[in-house]
Structure 1
């Protein structure tokens, strides 16, 4: 994957490396350099701060930064970060601008290119065989017996029509995956939206940024009067935990290991865990942490009785 990601137009952000994130044009400068929307840069900056554990650090060092607990134990996340392009002056760090450029690629790359990157990621570009697939499956199905893992890996190779040596090169892998899945299924499986499409549509209605020459979206002017208050978050957390509140967390975009991490951090106090989770959602979403969006999530999670709290 690194071979693909290092071909991206990284130099466009090199002159932003020494800009302080406290500057007023921090988001817009990165939006102009990468072609992303300001709301997308804001979303990714919040994710980057989670990875570095700092509000001011503009470079991520995967070897020394203490990743959040739910990520530090994820071998796939750690391996993915190893493939990211690194700073020309510091071979161990990933500048925020490079992080943006890679995320932009994930958002816009074709299915064929994403599958090619996935092939390189799985085995560093070397041919894939059943033994390699077995190692991967052991990380996914931790409780499954070795003989079952072996059977699954050989089934995988048969379905993708490995060659006579029992291996798959890149084109065989891409062709095999495209043969096993419909275009619609692959599109859904490999979809990566920095900002959901409906939010970008809403942002499109906003006037152009005076400080940005290429960007039409301004997160800071959107929905200011519709933002959820901390008091409302606390009320929802208290009442939602009387039932299966994890559905609400999932509807807000959190994964199962995120939820378990919040539970553990709060000593399995459900109300405290959900309240903290909602606060994180509020901070991450910024100007998009609106009552309308939270109402939609409450409805999706079967909590219609809590919607009046946001009126």
Structure 2
């Protein structure tokens, strides 16, 4: 994505089409080739990022930066702009491209997103580590950066090339781990499988490919084990307690269940420095809003490499 500004042309609708127009969503669906449900979800996300509800455009320079993490800032600023503004149509086209990318294309896009496609120097790598571990002290950040640099380059140089990055990422023995990390769906699988009683439900059966695809081309979070009952509060509390232990990635679980990073950050603001409360609250909202079943939660835990937690449900 680091070269997005040069490789992606600026797209927009006619000036007369605004968010107050009745055809705002349908016009973007036609132009982008996305189903209505995906455009509606992207519009919700675009507003969370700070887009104007009047113009339908996002100016990264004046958007509420506190709601965006380091990675979101880089992605948003990589999109092509007109007069400093990003159109919603360009956002739709970019997200569609990410979902359709192959594994190789996603890895290259990730590398090019940081440092605008140039080699990663030590400072770039350190910023990346800090974005992953925002609460760690300087000594831990430096030690982790040093270790990561040596693993990327085998100690042969003090910068990371695209070839270094690709070789390291594709060397994982657990291919499912890499696939899960790179998985991205505009509309999470559990929403496609279990339509909600809202204004999107009429459009949920419509997908670009005509089928229901999971992260590995299969059934995603389709319930196949009979776990159709709703998880109890005590079960959600148990999951939250285990998932907020050190070395577990509870944010990845929420991503698989369909939460965006902006939604997670917003929930964290209600309970700062209390990941257990944040996770419990979001899990309850997911269960009650879907409704989300025990089977879907079990599969999400498995997909996020927390099978031991899934087995306790």
TM-score interval for Structure 1 and Structure 2 normalised by the shorter chain: 0.5 to 0.7
Structure that is richer in helix per residue:
1
Partner residue of 2:259? Answer: 253
Q: Distance in 1 between matches of 2:2 and 2:122?
A: 23
Partner residue of 1:189? Answer: 181
Q: In 2, are the aligned partners of 1:16 and 1:97 still within 8 Å (CA)? A: no
| 2:31 paired residue among 30, 33, 49 | 33
Gap runs ≥5 in structure 2: 196-200, 212-231, 241-252, 299-313
Corresponding position: 1:44 with 2:52 = no
| 2:74 paired residue among 55, 62, 79 | 79
Quickly say closer, same or farther: Cα 1:202–1:126, change in 2 above 3 A: same
Q: In 1, are the aligned partners of 2:4 and 2:80 still within 8 Å (CA)? A: no
For residues 146-161 of structure 1, the aligned pairs below 5 Å read 146-161=138-153
Give TM-score scaled by structure 1 length. 0.64
Q: In 1, are the aligned partners of 2:58 and 2:85 still within 8 Å (CA)? A: yes
Q: In 2, are the aligned partners of 1:103 and 1:194 still within 8 Å (CA)? A: yes
Q: Distance in 2 between matches of 1:138 and 1:198?
A: 32
Corresponding position: 1:70 with 2:75 = no
Q: Which is higher, the Rg of structure 1 or of structure 2?
A: 1
Partner residue of 2:3? Answer: 3
Q: In 2, are the aligned partners of 1:246 and 1:259 still within 8 Å (CA)? A: no
Quickly say closer, same or farther: Cα 1:5–1:191, change in 2 above 3 A: farther
Q: In 2, are the aligned partners of 1:21 and 1:58 still within 8 Å (CA)? A: yes
Q: In 2, are the aligned partners of 1:59 and 1:95 still within 8 Å (CA)? A: yes
Query: Residues 69-112 of structure 1: CA distance to partner in whole angstroms, max 9, x if unpaired?
Result: 432xx23322322111112xx1x110000111111112111121
Quickly say closer, same or farther: Cα 1:208–1:129, change in 2 above 3 A: closer
Q: Distance in 2 between matches of 1:299 and 1:173?
A: 33
| 2:161 paired residue among 166, 169, 190 | 169
Gap runs ≥5 in structure 1: 218-238, 265-269, 282-288, 302-311
User: SS of the counterpart of 1:128?
Assistant: coil
> Aligned residues, how many?
251
Q: Distance in 2 between matches of 1:299 and 1:117?
A: 30
Q: Distance in 1 between matches of 2:169 and 2:296?
A: 36
Cα shift at 1:134: 2.7
Q: Distance in 2 between matches of 1:299 and 1:168?
A: 39
